[in-house]
């Protein structure tokens, strides 16, 4: 999943907050239906470290921030277990994990009874109706409708029997018929349905937890049309009114009063002793969601976020690298006494993280793709390799990340099959090696950069991007490469990449599920932008191998293919990289049950507040 760029900057001063979000979100004295019996309304204030999502229509989403917002209002068939590591799936909208046929092709699901869509004006009398099997198929078919501008068709492409044919036929027709059959979709009764795959696909169950496959009602889509992305209607733990979203600034969600019977997990599920020490087992059995209101503030810059954490206005903050020495003892990675003594807690974990500088392989200057011969200009490959050899990732790590990140070769993060031993792969062109880079520049036809135009480089404007871009420019200048830094909002960055308008760009990919196949999918030709292949990389041999691994369970044979594919990409150098982060969070005393993950974002429904510890 496309993540925020890893470039964090120190802002000069706190930005103005939207009216209603400034100050401590203390619910003391406020009446609220969610509290019941006149109890104080539980309100929670959380940060979103970007300018936020652009749409709450799941099929139009692709970023971490789309995921965060959509997970508030929609549900998927399966979800991640909140307190279990390694990551494990469990039923969400369905009664149990699906049954699977002996040949691994047909999955049969049974929906929980009584799950209802949010109360909304799109339904008769404004009362949300019960979810049925047809809603699942309708929601997935929306991924095939090109009028919806879907970002994630690649997730299901060439996977379900008859689905690709359905997509082609309906988009060619005058009207897209959602009632037209798909051979691999079978409704057994209102609660029971099956999905038949073309071949066994190991990742299929992971897909059932991804927000892009959330279940939505046709009534809302038909009533609100293009406004559905701002007027979400789902089955999730929270609801949101249109006027509760100030684009780029804030979002306010209210507890769904008709949310199904869902409870905080059993204490037996905790797998990390640190979670038990923090008391995460204590709410076991509590009905979800726990809080009545969730307020997000978007922070493009880090200093305002940090200041609001310090004043205990927001419940937690990710720790920007430049603030790490303020909060932690670098040697031990433990919280400093001045924070711990105030009741502040912390959590850290390695992310399934792929930070890169990417090339658009269809760009005339940088890519050199010839669609007729289906080959790349070898001189353009030399240029990309030279640029890669000029970059010192270790300098970025020590300068901007306190040396805490992991620098590695390839696109597969640490902890997953296909990640190279010690982070090093023989096919890598990772620098710095300025002499070799200069030689490659000569072979590319640009000795000392002579004749090479200035390259536009697109990057998120938030955080310390200007400082990082300045270092990047200095590194490339050593081999005669000049860049023109384009600092833009994250949403604009993604849009520019999706439209294939960015020749050189940077952000991070957070794996959608814990399998290196997800990262290898970033270079599968049919996944070209606006899907996950942001690089528009094409390699017929690579594509054949990718199609092969989709049905292969974990094995030494599959790992060898992962490594082969990784090294093929490294040789063609459609990106420079890479680096993975260890994420540190610090948590204010009033925020309870907080066990963050960047693999999934359903965790907000488990959170609680203790107003007695707020200032």
Q: What is the pLDDT of residue 68?
A: 95
Q: Quick check: 117 and 109 in contact, CB under 8 A?
A: no
Question: pLDDT category, 9, cuts 50, 70, 90?
Answer: very low
Residue 411 has pLDDT above 80, yes or no: yes
Looking from the CA of 4 toward its CB, the CA atoms found within 13 Å total 30
Question: pLDDT category, 12, cuts 50, 70, 90?
Answer: very low
SS3 513: coil
Q: What is the pLDDT of residue 462?
A: 80
Q: What is the pLDDT of residues 466-485, one digit of tens each?
A: 899 999 999 999 999 999 99
* In-domain check, residue 504: yes
* Average pLDDT taken over every residue of the chain: 91
Task: Note the Cα 307 to chain centre separation in Å.
Answer: 26
Residue 36 has pLDDT above 60, yes or no: no
* In-domain check, residue 506: yes
Buried b or exposed e, range 345-356, using 16+ CB within 10 angstroms: bbbebebbbbbb
User: Which of 285, 220, 314, 260 is closest to 92 using CA atoms?
Assistant: 260
Q: What is the mean pLDDT of residues 352-379?
A: 93
Q: Quick check: 15 and 47 in contact, CB under 8 A?
A: no
Round to whole Å and give the CA distance between 478 and 214: 48
Q: Which long-range contacts (CB under 8 A, 24 or more apart) does 168-174 make?
A: 170/144, 170/145, 171/144, 171/145, 171/146
Q: What is the pLDDT of residues 424-435, one digit of tens each?
A: 998 999 999 999
* In-domain check, residue 379: yes
DSSP result, 185-216:
EEE-SSSEEEEEBSS--TTHHHHTTSGGG---
* In-domain check, residue 12: no
* In-domain check, residue 175: no
* In-domain check, residue 516: yes
Q: Quick check: 491 and 229 in contact, CB under 8 A?
A: no
Helix (H) or strand (E) segment spanning residue 43: strand 43-48
Residue 265 has pLDDT above 80, yes or no: yes
Task: Note the Cα 498 to chain centre separation in Å.
Answer: 16
Question: pLDDT category, 38, cuts 50, 70, 90?
Answer: low
Of residues 574 and 7, which shows the higher confidence score?
574
Q: What is the pLDDT of residue 1?
A: 66
Q: Is the peptide bond before 28 cis (omega within 30 degrees of 0)?
A: no
Question: pLDDT category, 13, cuts 50, 70, 90?
Answer: very low
Of residues 93 and 23, which shows the higher confidence score?
93
Residue 375 has pLDDT above 70, yes or no: yes
Question: pLDDT category, 23, cuts 50, 70, 90?
Answer: very low
Q: What is the pLDDT of residues 483-517, one digit of tens each?
A: 999 999 988 999 999 999 999 999 999 898 999 99
Task: Note the Cα 503 to chain centre separation in Å.
Answer: 22
Q: Where are the beta strands (DSSP E) in 280-402?
A: 293-298, 316-318, 328-329, 334-335, 345-350, 353-359, 369-370, 375-376
Q: What is the pLDDT of residue 31?
A: 33
Question: pLDDT category, 184, cuts 50, 70, 90?
Answer: very high
Q: Quick check: 324 and 500 in contact, CB under 8 A?
A: no
Round to whole Å and give the CA distance between 224 and 105: 36
* In-domain check, residue 531: yes
Give the whole-number percent of the chain exceeding pLDDT 70.
94
Cα Rg of the chain (Å, integer): 24
Round to whole Å and give the CA distance between 150 and 60: 5
Buried b or exposed e, range 64-92, using 16+ CB within 10 angstroms: bbbbbbbbbbbbbbbbbebbeeeeebbbb
Residue 313 has pLDDT above 50, yes or no: yes
Question: pLDDT category, 463, cuts 50, 70, 90?
Answer: confident
Residue 26 has pLDDT above 50, yes or no: no
Q: How many distinct structural domains can be found in the chain?
A: 1
Q: What is the pLDDT of residue 314?
A: 97
Residue 580 has pLDDT above 90, yes or no: yes
Q: What is the pLDDT of residue 410?
A: 96
Q: What is the pLDDT of residue 6?
A: 32
Q: Which domain holds residue 361?
A: 353-580
Of residues 347 and 11, which shows the higher confidence score?
347
Q: What is the pLDDT of residue 615?
A: 73
Q: What is the pLDDT of residue 10?
A: 30
Q: What is the pLDDT of residue 7?
A: 29
Q: Measured on CA atoms in the order 182, 183, 189, 195, is the torsion positive or negative?
A: negative
Residue 35 has pLDDT above 70, yes or no: no
Residue 2 has pLDDT above 60, yes or no: no
Q: What is the pLDDT of residues 269-304, one digit of tens each?
A: 999 999 999 999 999 999 999 999 999 999 999 999
Q: What is the pLDDT of residues 53-111, one digit of tens each?
A: 999 999 999 888 999 999 999 999 999 999 999 999 999 999 999 999 999 999 999 99
Residue 344 has pLDDT above 80, yes or no: yes
Give the whole-number percent of the chain exceeding pLDDT 90.
83
Q: What is the mean pLDDT of residues 114-122?
A: 98
* In-domain check, residue 102: no
Q: Among the listed ranges 134-138, 305-309, 597-601, which one has the minimum average pLDDT value? A: 597-601
Q: What is the pLDDT of residue 116?
A: 98
Q: Among the listed ranges 13-17, 97-101, 246-250, 559-563, which one has the minimum average pLDDT value? A: 13-17
CATH number of the domain bearing residue 515: 3.10.105.10
Q: What are the distances in angstroms from CA 6 to CA 37, 312, 419, 578? A: 46, 25, 21, 12
Q: What is the mean pLDDT of residues 209-217?
A: 97
């Amino acid at each position: 999943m496309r993540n925020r760029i890893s470039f964090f900057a120190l802002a000069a001063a706190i930005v103005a907050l939207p009216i209603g979000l400034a100050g401590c979100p203390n619910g003391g004295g406020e009446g609220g239906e969610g509290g019941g019996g006149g109890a104080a309304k539980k309100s929670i204030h959380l940060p979103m470290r970007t300018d936020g999502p652009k749409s709450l229509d799941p099929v139009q989403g692709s970023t971490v921030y789309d995921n965060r917002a959509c997970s508030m209002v929609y549900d998927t068939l399966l979800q991640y277990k909140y307190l279990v590591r390694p990551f494990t799936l469990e039923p969400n909208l369905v009664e149990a994990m699906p049954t699977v046929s002996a040949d691994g092709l047909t999955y049969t699901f049974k929906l929980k009874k009584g799950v209802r869509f949010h109360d909304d004006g799109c339904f008769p009398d404004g009362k949300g109706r019960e979810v049925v099997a047809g809603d699942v198929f309708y929601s997935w078919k929306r991924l095939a409708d090109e009028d919806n501008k879907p970002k994630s068709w690649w997730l299901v492409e060439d996977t379900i029997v008859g689905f690709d044919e359905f997509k082609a036929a309906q988009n060619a027709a005058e009207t897209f018929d959602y009632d037209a059959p798909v051979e691999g979709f079978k409704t057994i009764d209102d609660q029971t349905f099956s999905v038949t795959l073309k071949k066994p696909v190991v990742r299929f169950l992971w897909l059932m937890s991804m927000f892009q496959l959330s279940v939505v009602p046709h009534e809302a889509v038909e009533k609100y049309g293009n406004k559905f992305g701002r007027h979400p209607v789902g089955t999730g733990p929270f609801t949101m009114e249109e006027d509760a979203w100030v684009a780029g600034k804030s979002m306010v969600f209210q507890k769904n009063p008709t949310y199904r019977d869902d409870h905080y997990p059993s204490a037996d599920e905790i797998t990390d002793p640190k979670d038990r020490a923090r008391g995460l087992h204590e709410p076991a059995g509590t009905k979800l969601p726990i809080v009545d209101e969730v307020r997000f503030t978007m922070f493009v810059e880090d200093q305002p976020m940090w200041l609001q954490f310090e004043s205990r206005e927001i419940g937690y903050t990710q720790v920007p690298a430049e603030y790490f020495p303020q909060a932690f003892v670098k040697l031990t990675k433990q919280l400093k006494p001045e924070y711990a003594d105030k009741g502040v807690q912390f959590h850290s974990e390695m992310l399934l993280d792929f930070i890169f500088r990417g090339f658009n392989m269809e760009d005339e200057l940088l890519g050199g793709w010839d669609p007729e011969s289906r080959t790349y200009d070898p001189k353009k490959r030399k240029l990309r390799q030279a640029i890669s050899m000029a970059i010192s990732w270790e300098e970025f790590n020590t300068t901007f990340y306190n040396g805490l990140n992991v620098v590695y070769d390839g696109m597969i993060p640490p902890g997953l099959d296909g990640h190279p031993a010690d982070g090093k792969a023989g096919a890598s062109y990772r620098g710095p090696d300025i002499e070799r880079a200069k030689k490659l520049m000569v072979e590319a036809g640009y000795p000392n950069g002579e004749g090479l135009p200035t390259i536009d480089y697109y990057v998120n404007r938030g955080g310390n991007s200007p400082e990082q871009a300045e270092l990047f420019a200095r590194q490339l200048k050593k081999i005669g490469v000049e860049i023109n830094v384009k600092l833009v909002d994250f949403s604009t960055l993604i849009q520019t990449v999706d439209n294939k308008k960015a020749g050189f760009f940077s952000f991070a990919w957070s794996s959608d599920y814990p399998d290196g196949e997800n990262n290898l999918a970033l270079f599968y030709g049919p996944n070209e932008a606006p899907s996950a292949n942001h690089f528009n990389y094409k390699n017929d041999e690579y594509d054949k191998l990718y199609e092969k691994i989709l049905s292969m369970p974990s094995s030494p044979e599959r790992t060898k293919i992962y490594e082969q594919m990784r090294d093929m990409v490294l040789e063609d150098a459609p990106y420079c990289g890479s680096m993975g982060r260890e994420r540190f969070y610090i948590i204010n005393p009033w925020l309870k049950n907080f066990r963050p993950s960047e693999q999934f974002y359903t965790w907000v429904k488990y959170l609680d507040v203790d107003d007695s510890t707020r200032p």
